[in-house]
Amino acid sequence: MHATIESGAGPRPYDGFDAMPIAGEWRGGRSGETHADTDPWSGETLAEVPLADRSDVDDAYAAARAAQPAWAAAPPAERGAVMRAAADVLLERREEAVGWLVRETGGTLAKAELEWSLVRSVMLEAASMPHHATGRIMPSDVPGKESRVYRRPVGVVAVVSPWNFPMQLSNRALAPALALGNAVVLKPASDTPVTGGLLLAKVYEEAGLPAGLLNVVVGSSGEIGDALVAHPAPRVVSFTGSTQVGEGIARKAGVKRLALELGGNCPLVVLDDADLELAVDAAVFGSFFHQGQICMIANRVIVDSSLHDEFVERFLGRVRALRVGDPAHAATDIGPLIDRSRLDAVREKVRRATAEGAELLTGGEPGGPTGLLLPPHVLLGTNDVATAREEVFGPVITVIRADGEERALELANDTEHGLSSAVITRDVERGARFALRLGVGMTHVNDSPVNDDANTAFGGEKASGIGRFGGAWALEEFTTEHWVSVQHERRRYPL
- Active site annotation includes 261: yes
Q: Is 7's pLDDT higher than 70?
A: no
Q: Is 6's pLDDT higher than 50?
A: no
Give me the domains of the chain, ranges plus CATH numbers.
Answer: 20-262+468-481 (3.40.605.10), 266-454 (3.40.309.10)
Can you give the pLDDT at residue 8?
A: 52
Active-site residue, selected from the candidate residues 115, 261, 390, 405: 261
* Banded pLDDT at 458 (limits 50, 70, 90): low
- Active site annotation includes 295: yes
Residues 6 or more apart from 355 whose CB is under 8 A from it? none
Residues in the chain: 495
Q: Is the pTM of this model over 0.85?
A: yes
Per-residue pLDDT tens for 128-173? 999 999 999 999 999 999 999 999 999 999 999 999 999 999 999 9
Looking at every residue in the chain, the average pLDDT score rounds to 93
Is residue 156 within 8 A of residue 65, CB to CB? The reply is yes
Active-site residue, selected from the candidate residues 205, 295, 390, 405: 295
Q: What is the mean pLDDT of residues 330-336?
A: 97
Per-residue pLDDT tens for 74-131? 999 999 999 999 999 999 999 999 999 999 999 999 999 999 999 999 999 999 999 9
Q: Is 308's pLDDT higher than 60?
A: yes
When comparing pLDDT for 469 and 346, which is higher? 346
Provide the β-strand partners of residue 367. 373
